[in-house]
Structure 1
Amino acid sequence: MTRRHLSAALGLALIASLGFIAPASTHPAQHGPQEGHLIGSGEFGMIDFVSKLRMHDATRGSIADVGALGNYAYLAKFDDDAACDDPENVADGGVYVTDIRDPRHPQEVGFIRAHQDTYVGEGVQAIRLSTPKFTGDILVFNNEGCGKNFKGGTSIYDVTNPRRPRKLASNQGDYTTDDVMNTPHDANQTHSAFAWDAGNQAYLVMTDDDEAEDVDIMNITDPRHPRLIGEFDLNVNSIDQPSLGLTETFLHDMVVKRIDGDWIMLLSYWDGGYVKLNVDDPANPVFLGDSEFTNPDPELLEQTGITRTPEGNGHQAEFTQGNRFIIATDEDFSPYRTTDLSRVTGPPAPTPETYETAPVGGGPLSVLPDRRLNGPVVYGGYGCPGASAAIPPAESVVP
């Protein structure tokens, strides 16, 4: 394990440099049927729909990401049910190679297969690399597991000739979990990856799914021999918001961009919001600041008049062209939430008269006829005899 500590840059704040683009209230059904999903006429930028192409074995939900370089696009094959239930001779994941020289007639021209029981998620990127050790186009992609034979880490391919990709390194990353060497000697699972060419040196940052130090950075100046140079836990910067229940803080995605002469990494850190690091020296990143989720959730309040705490879930973000703002997405897993439980019938309720609730299992509240969870309440046990305090008798709680 290669551990480094983040330096703190005083006097620099991320909030002042971020702007959030909220969807307009004229677009209904953000969590409903297909219609209304921000599908417009294209007047904002004059975007025209010109074609579509189905990969030869793609199923619904099996394309997780897309990257493009020059005349070719690279699409991640995701295991749509994370079951790895394809036959052993069928790839569970990988990258489709598509010729887009004629945008009206794109063609699938190749497929880069991931290891068995391994799929590719949100970490597909192709860039031009020019270092003392390598000159050409490379493709990087993450590896996630869905079966006993999976291999994690990040893979790098030479796609200078996209129709003949050549493997440079596969399943590379951090081979330790909490300071203990992995057995077998496999890299940790990786959810996303991003590479950048810094001149004489090139680097790759990836999401480590298996430990708190989840920001892993490798030197890929020689992409045939990547070297892990640092791993970091951004929670040391107190980026969570515990007063709002936003405590699930981990790296989900990231980008790196040269801004005003410095290399700046923008990380989507789930409940921790969006974080900026200076990575001029990637082995010793400098923490610049992080965003905060506004309470109450401003979009929900504006569109519905409902006051709720923000959900968090900073999913992915990009700098705008002028670098003044970022455009960020929150992955909304629970657009419908439970509120406190109140008794409305029967004898007077003991203090407190309301009880906190949390959804456990099952479907979202939106599937219920009135979108409300209500009905009789049954007092139950923990199901863990000997491990918890005894459940008090019902009459001692409710007269």
Structure 2
Amino acid sequence: MTGTDVVQGEGFVWRARELDGHLPSVSYGVTLVGKATVTNPSGAGLARHIADVAAYGDYAFLTVYRHPTCVRTGAYVMNISDPKAPFEVESAFIETTNGNYVGEGPCVIEIANEYFSGALFIHPHEHYILADAPDPTEPRQRGGINIWDVSDPENAQLLAAHAGDYTDSHNEPADQALAAYYTCAWTDSSTSRTYVSFVTDKPTTDIVIMEITDPRNPVMVNALDLRIAPFHVTGDPSKGLISVFGHAVDVRRVGDRYVMTATYWDGGYVLLDVTDPTPGNVSLIARTEYAEIDEERAKRGQQIWPEGNANHHDLSPDAEYLVGADENIEAYRLFGTITSGPHAGTEYIAAWSSGSAPVNADHPISGTPTFVGSGCPGTVPPGRGIALIERDASILTGGSAPGCAFQEKLDAITAAGYSAGIIFNHQGPDAMQQFPTAARGTIPLMFVNRLTGLRLLGVPGVTEETAGTTPTPANPVACATDVKSEFVGWGYLRLFKTDIPRSGTGSVTQIDTYAIPESQDPRYGTGFGDFSASHVAIDPDRRLVYATFFAGGLRVLSYGSDGLREVGAFREPGIDFWGVKIHKVGEKNYVLVSDRNFGLYIFDF
């Protein structure tokens, strides 16, 4: 979901935690060649400022996240012609429209046709919708993707701005594009047509494909909802796998097929045939499903449901293996029980906002909540105990009144005297999603899906199928609840064997999992940074995969029929690695890694 807003607006957000200590440095099997920091043109510093990395020729591009401020975002241009001494080309900063920020999934593609010849840098936009966000002054200023001519990387030229899906959740026309992330571009060698795919925050058709053969005039080709026919990518509510949405995409030619690999969060990893990307012609090749029990926790004697969270992935050059990164940035899972009313005895899982106080003996969540509506400033009555809050309409669901940010809700209930907050999701097709928010405060804040919220309000007969259309009752009386936390570990890697035939369906079979040791040790559950797997990149020439683990650093692993085996590692105090890309400079491949609080690292293995 955490560097980018995985979920629209303020959802899964990767945060720099308040650290009490650092792990010792580790360096073996991999060599740090060079590194370079950047100069934030807004002057606000670099805390949680850098997102992902892409590259072209002697240059790398570092995308700019919304922290510390969402002012002057876009991409830094880094000269890497000498990998031992990279540096920022300050005059070449690629700035995007105010009110947007650029997260995960930039890409570069070279094309040559009658419309354009050169290199394209494509990046997504996420909407900045917090209280201090500027309002758009005209249409086409938010979301979608920007396409830049970076044939001369130090003098990027904008070819198309905010190209994307200009519909809302009801498929009505909109004047701003949906938020976008994770771009991937490819050229079909048989037709010479170039396409770009990316993920949006739409709760239905969230994988978009556009034709960019003429990059100055992108054209919508298709928008896919993998949750419905003919794909039927679903989670498993019985295992708590209820947040099913697109997150990352990639496209690779496999034989005569163009194969899209996609992560679909709790829906797992998906392979699609996009040889003909037009409506009605994209087909499912294979998909993964999560096991009954979390494999890494089972190795340590704990029997719990898997977390899900298929976040990032890479397909091996021979298309025989897929490495996926499940990103769970919350090492503790909240387990709740409704203890009164018509749903007494019903259990649920909640998402804790780790910038808020932990749920423990000092900050228990137990008792009967007070429903405070939207929880926006000026509307919250004074009270004690648990505040139960309904999430407002948002850009995600096409709401015309987004209400207030999660941070404002937390601040409001804290000021009103409450000791904990539970936010439940709004009406709409995404009602069953739940995620940790970015809000930070001195009391615990958790987020639950709408079904749980309505049950906490004592609504009888509500089901998973009806929760999204069931309104919140007027003057409801909330039911009591108890919430406890349990260490469940951070996210980790999965290795799959793939069978992609010349036509028709294939298969994806899990071989192994890999977690860094600290990620499964409760001693490192707080105070040392995030230890989840985040991004992966597979070596084009060797059976090696490079994986980032935030504060856990970089890991190099061999992969094959015998599983994943660590063969190299790098970690030093204060690092926060996110994106990873393999890129050739001169005649040699290097591993480029983005550090959220610093800039660019360059490695050799």
TM range (shorter): 0.7 to 0.9
Q: 1:163 aligns with which of 128, 150, 154?
A: 154
- Measure, in 2, the Cα distance between the counterparts of 1:338 and 1:239: 26
Contact 1:336–1:366 at 8 Å: present in 2 too? no
Which residue of 1 is the match for residue 96 of structure 2? 114
Give the letter aligned to residue 368 of structure 2: Y
Whether 2:84 is the aligned partner of 1:104: answer: yes
Report how far residue 361 of structure 1 moved.
Answer: 5.5
Q: 1:378 aligns with which of 339, 349, 367?
A: 367
Whether 2:223 is the aligned partner of 1:248: answer: no
Give the letter aligned to residue 378 of structure 1: G
Q: In structure 2, do the counterparts of structure 1 residues 71 and 391 end up closer, same or farther at CA, with 3 Å as the change threshold?
A: closer
- Measure, in 2, the Cα distance between the counterparts of 1:102 and 1:203: 32
Larger radius of gyration: 1
Contact 1:130–1:197 at 8 Å: present in 2 too? no
Q: In structure 2, do the counterparts of structure 1 residues 281 and 75 end up closer, same or farther at CA, with 3 Å as the change threshold?
A: same
Q: 1:62 aligns with which of 32, 49, 64?
A: 49
Q: 1:317 aligns with which of 313, 320, 326?
A: 313
Which residue of 1 is the match for residue 286 of structure 2? 289
- Measure, in 2, the Cα distance between the counterparts of 1:157 and 1:135: 12
Report how far residue 113 of structure 1 moved.
Answer: 0.3
Contact 1:338–1:373 at 8 Å: present in 2 too? no
More strand by share: 2
Report how far residue 390 of structure 1 moved.
Answer: 4.5
- Measure, in 2, the Cα distance between the counterparts of 1:375 and 1:361: 13
Identity in percent: 28
Report how far residue 40 of structure 1 moved.
Answer: 4.9
Which residue of 1 is the match for residue 194 of structure 2? 202
- Measure, in 2, the Cα distance between the counterparts of 1:223 and 1:232: 22
Report how far residue 333 of structure 1 moved.
Answer: 3.3
Aligned-pair RMSD on alpha carbons?
Answer: 3.1
Matches within 5 A, 1:288-307: 288-302=285-299, 304-307=300-303
- Measure, in 1, the Cα distance between the counterparts of 2:237 and 2:282: 25
Contact 1:270–1:314 at 8 Å: present in 2 too? yes
Contact 1:334–1:364 at 8 Å: present in 2 too? no
Contact 2:109–2:120 at 8 Å: present in 1 too? yes
Q: In structure 2, do the counterparts of structure 1 residues 74 and 388 end up closer, same or farther at CA, with 3 Å as the change threshold?
A: same
How far does the alpha carbon of each residue in 1:332-353 deviate from its partner, in whole angstroms, 9 at most, with x for none?
033211346599xxxxx99999
Q: In structure 2, do the counterparts of structure 1 residues 265 and 354 end up closer, same or farther at CA, with 3 Å as the change threshold?
A: same
Contact 2:338–2:347 at 8 Å: present in 1 too? no
TM-score (norm 1): 0.77
Moved more, 113-122 or 329-338: 329-338
- What SS does structure 1 have at the residue aligned with 2:227? helix
Report how far residue 356 of structure 1 moved.
Answer: 2.0
- Measure, in 2, the Cα distance between the counterparts of 1:325 and 1:335: 28
Which residue of 2 is the match for residue 18 of structure 1? none
Q: In structure 2, do the counterparts of structure 1 residues 338 and 365 end up closer, same or farther at CA, with 3 Å as the change threshold?
A: farther
Give the letter aligned to residue 34 of structure 2: S
- Measure, in 1, the Cα distance between the counterparts of 2:208 and 2:335: 38
Report how far residue 322 of structure 1 moved.
Answer: 2.6
- Measure, in 2, the Cα distance between the counterparts of 1:376 and 1:264: 47
Whether 2:209 is the aligned partner of 1:217: answer: yes
TM-score (norm 2): 0.52
Which residue of 2 is the match for residue 278 of structure 1? 273
Contact 2:269–2:310 at 8 Å: present in 1 too? yes
Contact 2:335–2:350 at 8 Å: present in 1 too? no
Contact 1:131–1:202 at 8 Å: present in 2 too? no
Contact 2:124–2:181 at 8 Å: present in 1 too? yes
Give the letter aligned to residue 221 of structure 1: T
Contact 1:336–1:365 at 8 Å: present in 2 too? no
Give the letter aligned to residue 282 of structure 1: P
Which residue of 1 is the match for residue 258 of structure 2? 263
Whether 2:141 is the aligned partner of 1:136: answer: no
Count of residue pairs brought into register by the alignment: 342
Q: In structure 2, do the counterparts of structure 1 residues 67 and 33 end up closer, same or farther at CA, with 3 Å as the change threshold?
A: farther
- Measure, in 2, the Cα distance between the counterparts of 1:118 and 1:314: 25
Give the letter aligned to residue 23 of structure 2: E
Report how far residue 357 of structure 1 moved.
Answer: 4.6
Structure with more relative contact order (C-alpha pairs < 8 Å, separation 6 or more): 2
Gaps of 5+ in 1: 1-30, 344-348, 395-399
Q: In structure 2, do the counterparts of structure 1 residues 115 and 389 end up closer, same or farther at CA, with 3 Å as the change threshold?
A: closer
Give the letter aligned to residue 338 of structure 1: L
- Measure, in 1, the Cα distance between the counterparts of 2:477 and 2:185: 54
Report how far residue 355 of structure 1 moved.
Answer: 5.4
